[in-house]
Amino acid sequence: MDHNPVQTSKQLLDLSKKERLFEQLVAQVLKDFSRAGAVLHISKDMGGEEVKNAVQKKIGHLYSEQYDTYLSVMYIIDLSERELAQLPNEREGFVAEAVTFLILKREFQKVMLKARYN
C-alpha cells in the first residue's frame, strides 16, 4: 500500500479486493467495532460501497450520539491521534467520511501485515 498510496475509501476497498483481502478487511472491521461495543451490520457479501456507507453511517451516529463508544472504536482500531487532530472540525458528515477512510486504511494495514507475516 505504501508504494501506491490510496486517497479514498473506494480506492482502498478496490485495492483490498485486488489483493484478495476484502473478506479479511471486513472481518477485522467487525472485530474491532465489536470489541468497542458498537454493533456494525456489514458482511463480506456486501460491495465495497455498501461497506463504506455502513461504516460511515455508524461513525456519524457514534460521533453525535455515543461519543464515548466512538472514542473506544478509535482507540481499539489504533488510529493516530495526529491524523484525527488534523481533520477539519466541520460538519458531522464530512468528519464521518474522513474518519471512515482513516478506519479502513488502518484496518487494511493490519490485514496486510497479517497476510505478509502469517
Confidence of residue 1 (pLDDT cuts 50, 70, 90): very low
What is the per-residue pLDDT for 84? 82
Stated pTM of the model: 0.89
What is the per-residue pLDDT for 103? 96
Has residue 90 got a pLDDT over 70? Answer: no
- How large a percentage of the chain has pLDDT more than 90? 75
CA distances from 21 to 16, 48, 60, 111 (A): 5, 12, 26, 7
User: Can you tell me the distance from the alpha carbon of 89 to that of 84, in angstroms, rounded to the nearest whole number?
Assistant: 10
To which H or E segment does residue 32 belong? Answer: helix 22-35
Has residue 91 got a pLDDT over 80? Answer: no
Q: Are the beta carbons of 36 and 72 closer than 8 angstroms?
A: yes
79: nearest Cα among 98, 60, 51: 98
Query: How many angstroms from the chain centroid is the CA of residue 44?
Result: 14
